[in-house]
Amino acid sequence: MLLRALNRFRKAMNARLRPDLAYALGSPLRPAAECPGAREARGAALRWLFRLQDATGTGGVASGVNLLHYAERGDVRRAVGGAYPETTGYILPTILACAARGEADDGRERARRMADWLLTVQLPDGGFPGSQVGAAPQPPVVFNTCQIVLGLWSAFRAFGDEAYRAAAVRACKWVASVQEPDGSFASYASMPRNAHHARAAWPLLLVGRAAGEPAAVDAARRFMRRLLDRRRPGGWLPEYAHPGHPGAYPHHICYALRGCLECRALFAGVEDGLARELEEFVLEGVAALLRHVDPEGRMPGAFGDDFAATGEFDCLTGNAQLAGLVYRLAAAGLPELPGGLDAAGRLTRFVRRTQLARPDEPLLDGAVAGAYPVDGDYHGLTLVSWGAKFLIDALLLEEAHARGMAGEGDVGGVAEELAC
């Protein structure tokens, strides 16, 4: 509560310094009647990501925009910071998916620049830095490394460059080598033994299978086995907890559920028992979160034990991720959760209503904040690149689902691209 009060005070003071930015700092909710359409919102978010790429001058994408730094004196360099390897990695498949649909004329070229930059920041051991790339050396982090693997593998599939494949394989070998005997990841981890590493197991399994790396496949299997053994009735995991925060953010919960869902698809037909257990776990977790989505499309921004709501704000990235999960479940042909598709539509609509529309402020226009209100307890007063990425993903899947229902397309194609 003290942090939130301090954030409100700082927000008010900085809005006085730059009255023209009071709109962004206040993060007003657009009336429902003025909610931008899905394609309009997707295009605005995509252009904002491109501006974050251009701002770094490296080919990598910045993590976002710190509104306090931006408001103080329009200090763009401090507000944007350096390129962020982790999110550059998983933004890359999103850019390629948009380019494939004619929504980004230079999307493939930008994606290639992202991949080429990632090659330059890989560490000698095969891992990748866990924070923005700057003057100070950064140690490798398991989760971040695996998100970069997703991008490199997507780039390899798109461009056929063996360098991307080799870098992805080397990264997977390093991750497998630092796994704990119990299957968790405690070293080289910003959140030791946390469930969000399920989204690290996914690229390990994906690349391990495709590249013939049994150690990576075994690492993914052991992680998933440990995770399933620790679940509680109703789908809660003790490893969702995020010490020092108001609770487990849906952003991280959805990381875990998405990783389990993709591993379920990769294990199906090979280890069917494990695949079925993962399917049940994902369906339970998604259903538990959907119960908290209100008629407006809002969802608590943090959860305690057994999915008890603890956050009086929205974690906008988590909202978009949950919607994407619902459409991904539909694409996989899994049982439809009651009211799930309707809730997914409400979730994306609410995030679109919070999206900034400031053509006069290029580093704000099209952005998605970490939280609503913008000073909420998830990346308060920050516009986050991954929020834009997951909104674009959800809207691509939503459109593909609608086209599939109308007999005009196949949601599975989009889902496969985003699952690189």
**Looking at the domain 2-37+61-76+169-418, which fold is it?**
Glycosyltransferase (1.50.10)
pLDDT at 9: 43
* Tokens linked to 222: 């052991």
Determine phi and psi for 101, rounding to 5 degrees.
-105, 15
pLDDT at 2: 40
Rounded CA separation 238/242 (Å): 10
Full 3-state SS string of 300-348: CCCEEHHHEECCCCEEHHHHHHHHHHHHHHHHCCCCCCCCHHHHHHHHH
Rounded CA separation 141/76 (Å): 27
pLDDT at 136: 75
Q: Identify residue 107 by its one-letter amino acid code.
A: G
Contacts of range 40-45, beta carbons closer than 8 Å, 24 or more positions apart: 41/352, 41/355, 41/391, 41/395, 42/98, 42/103, 42/391, 42/392, 42/395, 42/396, 43/103, 43/366, 44/355, 44/357, 44/365, 44/366, 45/355, 45/366, 45/367, 45/368, 45/388, 45/389, 45/391, 45/392
pLDDT at 3: 47
DSSP state, residue 28: P
Per-residue pLDDT of the chain (420 residues; tens, 9 = 90+): 444 544 554 554 444 444 445 545 545 689 998 999 999 999 999 999 999 999 999 999 999 999 988 877 666 778 998 999 999 999 999 999 999 999 999 999 999 999 999 999 999 999 999 988 875 778 999 999 999 999 999 999 999 999 999 999 999 999 999 999 999 999 999 999 999 999 999 999 999 999 999 999 999 999 999 999 999 999 999 999 988 888 999 999 999 999 999 999 999 999 999 999 999 999 999 999 999 999 999 999 999 999 999 999 999 999 999 999 999 999 999 999 999 999 999 999 999 999 999 898 899 999 999 999 998 999 999 999 999 999 999 999 999 999 987 777 656 677 777 765
The domains of the chain are located at 2-37+61-76+169-418
Rounded CA separation 383/371 (Å): 9
Within 8 A by CB and 6+ apart from 357, the residues are 30, 36, 44, 365, 366
* Tokens linked to 382: 């920050």
Q: What is the DSSP string of 133-190?
A: -SSS---B-HHHHHHHHHHHHHHHHHH--HHHHHHHHHHHHHHHHT--TTS---SS-S
H/E segment holding residue 124: none
In angstroms, what CA-CA distances link 20 with 16, 26, 70, 74, 383? 9, 11, 12, 11, 17
DSSP state, residue 31: P
Rounded CA separation 62/81 (Å): 7
Number of H helices, E strands in the chain: 17, 6
Half-sphere exposure of 5 (CA within 13 A, CB side): 2
Q: Reply yes or no: is the peptide bond before residue 129 cis, omega within 30 of 0.
A: no
Rounded CA separation 81/382 (Å): 12
